[in-house]
Amino acid sequence: MGRQKWLIVIITVAVVFIGLIIYGIFAVTTSKNTAPTPTPASAQYYDKQSGQTVSNPAGKGPDVYGSNPNTPVFLGFSDLTNVGLSYVQVEDIQQGFTNYSSLISKTSEVSIDVSTINDTFNNTGGNSTVSFSVTLNRVKQLLAKVNYSGLLIARLYLFDGTKQVFDSGDINFQTYND
């Protein structure tokens, strides 16, 4: 090989080498800013019943600002608005589960199996009923029935098999927040 060919090879190798160094520096500096921090497998889980992913990062406490820390985590409850319940009535139902939780051992999570939500409307009385399966603390399964009318009041019944285990009475969430 001639001197010119060696010079071209050396220059080409040097340009490629310098380009790789610049690319490596760029990749390292940008990856620090945009790469997500991996979370341990135990830091989150997918709740099959509600279809929601729950995150619980290590070293972080639950966000309870502005709420009662003894209130369970409610999964799948937003789907109840799809069958006609108001947001206030969903809060009423959550209050009913909180009341039930205070009667039994502490319930930390209430998950609705959203595929079981079934609603019926009574034309004569104007009342509606929605029923669904619910799991407490990822273990205890119950059937929930909710009678509601208007936009503010709901009544929660819980059944363990065919046995009624809870009747909330009429709940108006606003009375719990006054």
| pLDDT bucket at 39, cuts 50 / 70 / 90 | very low
The 10 Å Cβ neighbour count of residue 42 is 9
Arithmetic mean of pLDDT, 124-138: 86
| pLDDT bucket at 138, cuts 50 / 70 / 90 | confident
DSSP code per residue over 5-72? HHHHHHHHHHHHHHHHHHHHHHHHHHHHHHSPPP--GGGEEEETTTTEEEE--TT-----TTS-TTSP
* H or E segment and range at residue 133: strand 128-136
Assessment of whether the complete model's pTM goes beyond 0.75: no
Report the pLDDT value the prediction gives residue 93, as an integer from 0 to 100: 92
Residue 21 to residue 24: CA distance in whole angstroms: 5
Report the pLDDT value the prediction gives residue 35, as an integer from 0 to 100: 37
| pLDDT bucket at 162, cuts 50 / 70 / 90 | very high
| pLDDT bucket at 16, cuts 50 / 70 / 90 | confident
Q: Where are the domains of the chain?
A: 1-35, 43-176
Report the pLDDT value the prediction gives residue 123, as an integer from 0 to 100: 59
Whether 118 shows a pLDDT value over 50: the answer reads: yes
